[in-house]
A and B are shown apart, each in its own frame.
Chain A
Amino acid sequence: MSRKPPDSLLPLTPAVLHILLVLADGERHGYAIAQEVESMSDGQVRMGPGTLYGSILRMTDTELIEEVTGRPRENGDERRRYYRLTVFGRQVLALELQRLNAVMNVARRKQLLGAPLAEGAS
């Protein structure tokens, strides 16, 4: 499969973005990813197995992540499958974060962030 240019995948879906963010810290297995996404987003993003593995399937296909092979056993648990970011995945994540940052900068310039949100929160 010929790899697409990184920016052709942007913008990322929230699920993909969150999974990439979690895996940026290192290898994780499925349930750990889901849990970390949940805690990272203060419970805002909850992933079921369908969403998670649906995303993982597509992310593996597009080579954003890859499965860790030859991993030593842990607690005798050899079947659990671990994933990590590919170099390409890291590039895509960086690009997406830059894109988001640019969006945030615009928002800050227009002073859309501070007051209205604070008001809305109160």
Chain B
Amino acid sequence: MSDHPRPTRLSRLLARCYPRELREEYADEIARFIDDARRDPRNQGRPLAALGVAATLTRDALFSLFASLRNGAPRPIRGRTPEVSFIKRVRSFSMEAVLQDIKYALRGFVRRPAFTAVALITLALGIGGNSAVFTLVNAVLLKVLPYPNPDRLVFIYGGTDASRQLPLSAPDVEDLRTQNRTFEDIGIANTQSVNLTGGDRPDRVIGNFVSASSLRILGATTALGRIFTEDETRIGAGEPVVVLSYATWRSRYGSRTDIIGQKVILNGQPHTVIGVTNAAFRDPAACDIWLPISSASRSWFRRDNPAVHGVGRLKAGVTLLDAEKDLGVIAKQLVTKYQSANLKESVAVLDMRESLVGGSRFTLIVLFGAVVAVLLIACVNIANLQLVRASTRQREMSIRAAMGANRARLVSQTLVESLLLALVGGAMGVAVGQIAAKFLVKVMPPNMPLMGELAPDWRVLAFSFAMALLTGLLFGAPAAFAGTRTNLNGALRTRSELASTGRFNVRNILVISELALCVVLLAVAGLFTRTMQSLNNVDIGFNAEQVLSAEFRIPAVKYDDSQKVRQFMRSALEHLRATPGVVHAAYVGSIPFSGNSDNVPYVAEGQPDVSRDKAPGALFTTISDQYFKTMQIPQLAGRDFTSSDVMGSEPVAIINKTLADKAWPGQNAVGKTLRLKMQPEVTVRVVGVVGAAKQFTMTEETQTQIYVSKEQYTGIFTSVVLRTTGDPDAMNKALHEAIWSVDRDQPIWKVRSLQFLVDRDLAPSRVLVSIVNAFALLALLLGAIGVYGVMSFAVQQRSREMGIRMALGARTTQVLNLVLRSGLEVVLIALAIGVAGAMAAGKFVESRLYNVRPGDPATMIGVPLLLGAVALFACYLPARRAARVDPAVTLRSE
């Protein structure tokens, strides 16, 4: 039958999967059998048949293994411990040995349910936490953008030394597109709110105004219809067409397949729907609809009006730096050619992924660091438990070694036990992690960009599995190696003091690393908490409580001259002020902490006139009268706007104290004039000075600010703020009705309390702080348990020594001191290492600290003191027990 008398290597390897008693007798035969089956002419050239053979073999091997385990071919003789027979039967590594180890470990777990439960719960929580944070890290940081060749996608902005995200003008982007040598293509994009009417109620959607290239670059495909053609988005074309996102099509148009060719009313104008994108396609700007850039306001096509940014796809092999250099050269030429200052110093080419997710990286890394530290601490505790157990098995190990088991077998058996524990804990951890990840997403700052679903993909599973393996090895190794170091002479005769001699024994190293990690985690938590305290004391310059805000946009088509717009504004404000529960009401161009703002270059009276791009800038806010009353921003000098400040009267402005101090230090600013370098330039007279209010974040320096009257500068975007007598959120409906009583079709969006906006600014820090605090508390608890465990074990091991000391006349306090001193040494070393680590960690989180230095003395002294006290208490309990020992009892027991 066979022409190959020697079995092949592969088959001999496969044969090793069979039970030992079979292999001992038939190893070559089994290998030859496998060869014959593989070479069987009936199976030749039929991959399916080969698969069948493989399946048969696998099933066969498993059955044989289990059969041999169950029947235990050479049955252990009654009375002999199974361990001994186990050593005799299995000498080297094999499948069977591993199965034996697993079986033995399982039996051990059942015998020690308390230990098993504690270890499993600890692991499930520890690995679960890691799995949860990793699920987020995976979804946010690791998943690639859902576009073809995403690593070549970039955003293109204007750049200066201060910022690399300045807008560009559309003609400039178009020139960059036609003249560059490093891009496959460049598109134009910018998002803006769009009023959607004609449905049940007026609404707002986010529109992305794009050129045809933008969607092509992102690889957009459609479920229905098509995306824009080059002609439709060419500047000046202005075809009123629109592409809907899949989600918008489903939620607003009920997935109607006849939507293509229908007209929808956007910003008061009918637009023809030409396409619906595929369900999987998401715009980086997360918009609801796409409009051709040509439909945007005419002002967008002026070279001196930077309003858009570029979306680009690099040619293969081109780096960001290459591209930036290439575009920089073109920008220089454009600046000379058009005398435009918009391209600033350079063009910034930003990796798309990085600009989308970069902001979340820090939070996730800190979180990740914290969970890993907690897991390590938990690991150390379990390692300790295992060590304690190993020392009680010292005799057993020695006996087994004496019976002929080699060290490798003993080590592998102990490790298998730890790994099994870790893997079961890890599996539970994945489940815990999924729940925790969902929770994390809920409490996380809403701007965290999720690139995909949270569902655990192979990466999360692989990570959790690796984490479990690693923890298993980590907490299993000390016991496996220290616990199996057998001294046949000594161990069989007396109880050995396992791994507890000298200051740097395994056990002390474990405690030192555990406590040091605790210090780091607690210190970071401390720094964050102190930062939170400073943030809570920040004066934002206005009173955010009991204020409701809302935004709207007045459709230019309907209100086609500023007279009509003002009419609407006045009438709506009257209705709002007449609403019961409203104390004050006012308009404001950009609500503080809403993220919006306008900027204007100015030249103060008494300063030499300079050009627009040389002039200092100030925040520019259009408001109605009563704005400062509504916000409770203090009026420091002069007056509020009045009904006499109208179109045609002298242009007036109110400035904040910061600007007054900067422009006219030591003088009265009221009555002075400012030249606002707008187009056209205007000179305004300062009629009032108010307190400085923060515009974007708690942590910013207050900026110079210029307020002008809405009556004199009419815009189509506006926001309204209401100071209410009660809960501002309860006024939501009243606000809508007041405005709808003037225009039934007017959409109102972003109805939020001002407190919400302010809180939102702190939300990411607050979430981070509370999570890190929770982890730190957990670490403290685990650390205390760890120290207690180690100390009580050490005391127990030294009970004979204590007994002798006391028998020889040592006093209780002396014994107490002795134990405490040895504990104190370990704790002090740990604290020293920990503080060094904490300093480094403080440097790492420095960017997130506010009014707190990374080496904050209160934290760096307070944390070690706290931890030291807790650790010493954990030492004291076992020490007291040792001191109370009755020498007669201990001496006899040995």
- Chain A residues proximal to chain B, CB less than 8 Å: 29-32, 34, 46-54, 56-57, 75-81
Q: Are A53 and B5 in contact (CB under 8 A)?
A: no
* Shortest 8 CB-CB contacts between residues of A and residues of B: A48-B60, A50-B64, A31-B36, A49-B33, A49-B30, A50-B60, A53-B26, A77-B5
- Comparing B17-25, B239-247, B255-263, B423-431, the segment that makes contact with chain A is B17-25
- The answer to whether residues A49 and B18 also contact, given A34-B33, A57-B25 and a CB cut-off of 8 A, is yes
Q: Are B29 and A50 in contact (CB under 8 A)?
A: no
Q: Are A49 and B34 in contact (CB under 8 A)?
A: yes
Apart from the given pairs A31-B1, A31-B2, A57-B21, 16 other A-B contacts in the complex at a CB distance below 8 Å: A29-B1, A30-B32, A31-B32, A48-B57, A48-B59, A49-B26, A49-B29, A49-B34, A50-B18, A51-B64, A53-B22, A54-B67, A57-B22, A75-B2, A78-B5, A81-B29
Q: Are A50 and B32 in contact (CB under 8 A)?
A: no
Which residues of A are found within 8 Å of B2, using beta-carbon distances? Answer: 31, 75, 77, 80
Max count, chain B CB within 10 A of own CB: residue among A48, A53, A80: A48
User: Is B63 an interface position by the 8 A CB rule?
Assistant: yes
Q: List 30 A-B contacts (CB under 8 A).
A: A30-B26, A30-B32, A30-B33, A31-B2, A31-B32, A31-B37, A46-B56, A48-B56, A48-B57, A48-B59, A48-B60, A49-B18, A49-B33, A50-B19, A50-B22, A50-B30, A50-B60, A51-B60, A53-B22, A53-B25, A53-B29, A57-B26, A75-B3, A77-B2, A77-B5, A79-B5, A80-B2, A80-B29, A80-B32, A81-B29
Which residues of A are found within 8 Å of B34, using beta-carbon distances? Answer: 49
User: Is B61 an interface position by the 8 A CB rule?
Assistant: yes
Q: Which of B3, B30, B59 has a CB less than 8 Å from the CB of A53? A: B30
Q: Are A54 and B33 in contact (CB under 8 A)?
A: no
- Chain B residues proximal to chain A, CB less than 8 Å: 1-3, 5, 15, 18-19, 21-22, 25-26, 28-30, 32-34, 36-37, 56-57, 59-61, 63-64, 67-68
The residue on A at minimum CB distance from B57 is A48
Q: Are A54 and B64 in contact (CB under 8 A)?
A: yes
Max count, chain A CB within 10 A of own CB: residue among B3, B36, B67: B36
Tell me, in angstroms, the Cα distance from A53 to B26 when the chains sit together: 7
The residue on B at minimum CB distance from A76 is B5
CB distance from B648 to the nearest CB of A (A): 100
Which residues of B are found within 8 Å of A30, using beta-carbon distances? Answer: 26, 29, 32-33
The residue on A at minimum CB distance from B37 is A31
CB distance from B31 to the nearest CB of A (A): 8
CB distance from A73 to the nearest CB of B (A): 10
Tell me, in angstroms, the Cα distance from A101 to B293 when the chains sit together: 91
Q: Are A32 and B22 in contact (CB under 8 A)?
A: no
Which residues of B are found within 8 Å of A53, using beta-carbon distances? Answer: 18, 22, 25-26, 29-30, 33
Which residues of A are found within 8 Å of B61, using beta-carbon distances? Answer: 48, 50
Which residues of A are found within 8 Å of B18, using beta-carbon distances? Answer: 49-50, 53
Which residues of A are found within 8 Å of B68, using beta-carbon distances? Answer: 54
Q: Are A52 and B33 in contact (CB under 8 A)?
A: yes
Tell me, in angstroms, the Cα distance from A80 to B61 when the chains sit together: 21
Q: Are A32 and B1 in contact (CB under 8 A)?
A: yes
The residue on B at minimum CB distance from A47 is B60
Which residues of A are found within 8 Å of B30, using beta-carbon distances? Answer: 49-50, 53
Which residues of B are found within 8 Å of A77, using beta-carbon distances? Answer: 2, 5
Max count, chain B CB within 10 A of own CB: residue among A31, A47, A76: A31
Q: Are B28 and A79 in contact (CB under 8 A)?
A: yes
Q: Are B25 and A49 in contact (CB under 8 A)?
A: no
The residue on B at minimum CB distance from A51 is B60
Q: Which of B1, B25, B36, B63 has a CB less than 8 Å from the CB of A50? A: B63
The residue on A at minimum CB distance from B58 is A48
Which residues of A are found within 8 Å of B25, using beta-carbon distances? Answer: 53, 57
Tell me, in angstroms, the Cα distance from A46 to B60 when the chains sit together: 10
The residue on A at minimum CB distance from B11 is A49
The residue on A at minimum CB distance from B22 is A53
Q: Are A51 and B32 in contact (CB under 8 A)?
A: no
Tell me, in angstroms, the Cα distance from A46 to B64 when the chains sit together: 14
The residue on A at minimum CB distance from B18 is A50
Which residues of A are found within 8 Å of B15, using beta-carbon distances? Answer: 49
Tell me, in angstroms, the Cα distance from A50 to B64 when the chains sit together: 6
Which residues of B are found within 8 Å of A78, using beta-carbon distances? Answer: 5
Which residues of A are found within 8 Å of B64, using beta-carbon distances? Answer: 48, 50-51, 54
Tell me, in angstroms, the Cα distance from A47 to B29 when the chains sit together: 14
